[in-house]
Amino acid sequence: MSRLEAKKPSLCKSEPLTNERVRATLCVLKGILTSSYGPSGRLKQLHNGLGGCVCTTSQSSALLSNLSVTHPILKILTTSVQNHVSCLSDCGLFTAILCCNLIENIQRIGLKPTTVIKLNKQLLSLCTSYLQSEFCGCRIRVDFSSTQTLLCLVRSIVASKPACMLTRQEIDHISALILRAFLLTIPENTKDRLILGESIIVPLKGQRVTDSTVLPGILVEMSEVQLMKILPIKKTDAFKVALFCASLSGDFPDTGEGTIVVNSGVSLENAVLDQLLNLGRQLVSDHVDLVICQKVVHPSLKQFLSTHHMIAIDRVGAALMEALSKVTGTQPIGSLGLISPSSYGSIKDLCTAKFGFKHFLHLLPNEATICSLLLCNRNDTAWDELKLTCQTALHVLQLTIKEPSVLLGGGCTETHLAAYIRHKTCNESESILKDDGCTQTELILLTDAFCSALESVAGSLEHDGGEILTDMKYGHFWTAQPESPSVVNWPDLLSRCGCGLYTSQEELRWSFLKSTHHSFAPQTCLPHEAVGSANNLTLDCFTAKLSGLQVAVDTANLILDLSYIIEDKN
Partner 1 sequence: MVMACRVINKRRHVGLQQLSSFSGTGRTLLGPVKSSKFIIDEESHESMLISSIVRLLESLDLTSAVGQLLNEAVQTQNSTYKTGTSTLLLLVGAWSSAAEECLHLGVPISLIVSIMSEGLNSCIEEVVSLQVPIHNVFDHVDNTKTFSGLDTCSVNLCPFLQIPSDTGLLKEHDLKDVASPSLTIYNLSGIPVGSPKLFRPQAEVEANKNILQNPQILKKSLLADNHCRKSILIHSRHFNRPDSNQWINKPEGFLEQRGAATPHTYRCNDLVELEMGLSHGDHNSMKLVDEAVRLQYQNSSMQQGNCSVPFMFDISRIFTCCLPGVAETFSCVCPGYITVVSISNTTLIKELQNQPIRIILIEGDLTENYRHLGFNKAANINTLLESVKFQPDSSEERWTNNVLQVLIKFDVNLVLVQGNVSEYLIEKCIQSKRLVIGSVNNSVMQAFAEASGAVQVTYITQVNENCVGSGVCVNFWRSIPSDVIDRINIMTIMIKTEGINLVTVVLTSPLPAQMQAKEDRFWTCAYRLYYALKEQKVFLGGGAIEFLCLSHLQILAEQSLSKRNHVCSGWLHNTSSWLASSLTLYRSTVLKCLANGWHKYLSTLMYNTANYSSELGASTVIQQHLQNATDSGSPSSYILNEYSKLNSGIFNSGTSNKLEQIPSVYDNVTPKIEAWRRALDLVLLVLQTDSEIITGLGHTQINSQETEGFLFL
Binding residues for partner 1 restricted to 374-403, rule: CB under 8 A: 378-382
Residues 328 and 245 sit within 8 Å (Cβ to Cβ): no
Name residue 76's amino acid. I
Rg over CA atoms, the chain = 29
From residue 313 to residue 352, what is the string marking binding to partner 1 with x (rule CB under 8 A)? -xx-------------------------------------
Decide: is 479 part of the binding site for partner 1 (CB under 8 A). yes
Decide: is 39 part of the binding site for partner 1 (CB under 8 A). yes
Cα–Cα distance measured from residue 63 to residue 461, given in angstroms and rounded to the nearest whole number: 18
Decide: is 512 part of the binding site for partner 1 (CB under 8 A). no
From residue 135 to residue 164, what is the string marking binding to partner 1 with x (rule CB under 8 A)? ------------------------x--xx-
Nearer to partner 1, 6 or 50 (CB): 50
Residues 27 and 76 sit within 8 Å (Cβ to Cβ): no
From residue 447 to residue 466, what is the string marking binding to partner 1 with x (rule CB under 8 A)? ---------------xxxxx
Outline where 460-533 has alpha helix (H): 490-493, 528-533
CB of 435 to partner 1, least distance (A): 42
Nearer to partner 1, 291 or 553 (CB): 291
Decide: is 498 part of the binding site for partner 1 (CB under 8 A). yes
User: Given the DSSP bridges, would you call strands 510-512 and 349-355 parallel, antiparallel or unpaired?
Assistant: unpaired
List, in sequence order, every residue forming a beta bridge with 496; answer none if it has no partner: 503
Nearer to partner 1, 263 or 431 (CB): 263
Decide: is 548 part of the binding site for partner 1 (CB under 8 A). no
Residues 392 and 89 sit within 8 Å (Cβ to Cβ): yes
Cα–Cα distance measured from residue 59 to residue 93, given in angstroms and rounded to the nearest whole number: 7
Residue 428: phi and psi, rounded to 5, are: -125, 40
Q: Choose among 523, 518, 553: nearest CA to 125.
A: 553
| From 9, 110, 232, 258, residue interacting with partner 1 (rule: CB under 8 A) | 258
Decide: is 51 part of the binding site for partner 1 (CB under 8 A). yes
Phi-psi region of 309 (alpha: psi -120 to 50; beta: other; left: phi over 0): left
CB of 532 to partner 1, least distance (A): 19
Residues 277 and 300 sit within 8 Å (Cβ to Cβ): yes
Nearer to partner 1, 15 or 251 (CB): 251
Nearer to partner 1, 3 or 569 (CB): 569
Decide: is 255 part of the binding site for partner 1 (CB under 8 A). yes
Decide: is 250 part of the binding site for partner 1 (CB under 8 A). yes
Cα–Cα distance measured from residue 384 to residue 56, given in angstroms and rounded to the nearest whole number: 9
- Edge-to-edge strands of the sheet including 477-480? 477-480, 467-471, 510-512
- Which run of H or of E encompasses 480? strand 477-480
Cα–Cα distance measured from residue 324 to residue 332, given in angstroms and rounded to the nearest whole number: 9
Cα–Cα distance measured from residue 48 to residue 71, given in angstroms and rounded to the nearest whole number: 20
Burial of 174 (0-12, 13-18, 19+ CB in 10 A): buried
If you write DSSP's letter for every residue of 367-394 in order, what string do you get?
S--EEEEEEEESSHHHHHHHHHHHHHHH
Decide: is 14 part of the binding site for partner 1 (CB under 8 A). no
Nearer to partner 1, 376 or 556 (CB): 376
Cα–Cα distance measured from residue 87 to residue 66, given in angstroms and rounded to the nearest whole number: 18
| From 231, 262, 318, 338, residue interacting with partner 1 (rule: CB under 8 A) | 262
Name residue 400's amino acid. T
Q: How many residues bind partner 1 (CB under 8 A)?
A: 91
Stretch that binds partner 1, among 53-61, 414-422, 524-532, 554-562 (CB under 8 A): 53-61
Name residue 92's amino acid. G
Nearer to partner 1, 28 or 87 (CB): 28
From residue 165 to residue 204, what is the string marking binding to partner 1 with x (rule CB under 8 A)? x-xx--x---------------------------------
| From 175, 496, 553, 556, residue interacting with partner 1 (rule: CB under 8 A) | 496
Decide: is 488 part of the binding site for partner 1 (CB under 8 A). no
CA of residue 147 relative to chain centroid, distance: 21
Binding residues for partner 1 restricted to 66-85, rule: CB under 8 A: 66-71, 74
Residue 140 Cα distances to 206, 409, 427, 460, 531, angstroms? 39, 11, 26, 24, 8
Binding residues for partner 1 restricted to 272-311, rule: CB under 8 A: 295-296, 298-300, 303, 307
From residue 208 to residue 227, what is the string marking binding to partner 1 with x (rule CB under 8 A)? x----------------x--
CB of 323 to partner 1, least distance (A): 22
Decide: is 232 part of the binding site for partner 1 (CB under 8 A). no
| From 2, 145, 190, 259, residue interacting with partner 1 (rule: CB under 8 A) | 259
From residue 98 to residue 127, what is the string marking binding to partner 1 with x (rule CB under 8 A)? ------------------------------
